[in-house]
Structure 1
Amino acid sequence: MSVAERTREAVRADPALYDALRAGVVNYSAAARSLAVDGDVESIATALRRYAEELPTGEQSDRRVSVRLHRGVALDEDAFGGVDLEADGDATAIQVTGDVDARAFERVLGSLRTAGVAVTAGGFNDDALVVGVEPRTGPEALRVVERALESR
């Protein structure tokens, strides 16, 4: 396998680096040094540059969603996303309906992670996603999810 192929494989295993390449915000030499790819750092950096040129850009989408905070719901592993929005409980959840997909779910989870909001449950399907969060973080989680989905 060539250096370029090994580099692409390493990028596909690292979603953050993949997204950074798509966004054009990568220091190629630093990224090359951080990858566990055998080869000359400059060759790996060149492979990263070439791969980045082939990737689709992160253009804005016309995603239409509705984001809602639910308090007093129950965590239930048998319910959609592990959260039963109809049951009484002491959990808090953020529900997103509309144009949702795996990319939206990934964006929500990543944004909550970087904001320091712990996710206790979560899932998505064709028209909804739900994440359970600690009750005290509900308002912050709502703001984080709204920002995450309006930016892409």
Structure 2
Amino acid sequence: MSLAADARAAARERPFLLTALRAGVVNYTAAASHLDIDGETDAIATALRRYAEELPSLEVESREVCVTMNSGVGVVDDAAESDEGALLTLGGQTVVPDVGSQTAILATGEVDADALTAVLGRLRAAEISVDAAATMDGSLLVVVERRDGVAALQVVEAALEAVSVTSGL
């Protein structure tokens, strides 16, 4: 593979770098020295700069959503034990209301994988641990510890006001 191809592959393996390249906020020399690529740092930086010029610009959009918080949710192992009010079922486990000590944040409306990516990134930055997360068919759900519920609600609302769009990649 060429140095340019190696630099592109390395950037694609690091979503944070790919986002920064699209946003135009990269110190190319610092990024090049961070990557484990054989070659001169200046040449790798040049390859990253050229790659950034080819990428679509980072677009951010606000989503029309309704965000609610449901405290007292829990995870049950047997889906048969859950009631019809299940918030999420995945891999034999179900998030249900009124059986636990966690909080679910539910967003409905214009949500998709980009919205979930934005939400999880913001929750990580806020140091809020996520116990479960999913999006499907206009719904996005994250489950956090009860003590983090209010902060998580605020983070989710803010994240959905500025979702990075990955179309064109």
TM superposition score normalised by structure 1: 0.92
Runs of 5+ in structure 1 lacking a partner?
none
Q: Structure 1 residues 86-95 or 42-51, which shifts more? A: 86-95
> In structure 2, the residue corresponding to 1:150 is in which secondary structure?
coil
Partner of 1:40: 40
Runs of 5+ in structure 2 lacking a partner?
80-87, 164-169
Give a deviation string over 1:68-108, Cα, whole Å, max 9, x none. Answer: 11101122465336652445322111111111111111111
Structure 1 letter corresponding to 2:59: E
Higher helix content, 1 or 2 = 1
Larger Rg: 1 or 2?
A: 2
Partner of 2:105: 94
What RMSD over aligned residues (CA atoms) do the two structures have, in Å? 1.6
Structure 1 contact 67–95 (Cα < 8 Å) conserved: yes
Percent same amino acid at aligned positions?
A: 49
Matches within 5 A, 1:1-152: 1-76=1-76, 79-80=88-89, 84-152=95-163
| Aligned residue-pair number | 152
> In structure 2, the residue corresponding to 1:57 is in which secondary structure?
coil
In 1, Cα distance between the equivalents of 2:33 and 2:134?
35
TM superposition score normalised by structure 2: 0.83
In 2, Cα distance between the equivalents of 1:83 and 1:149?
25
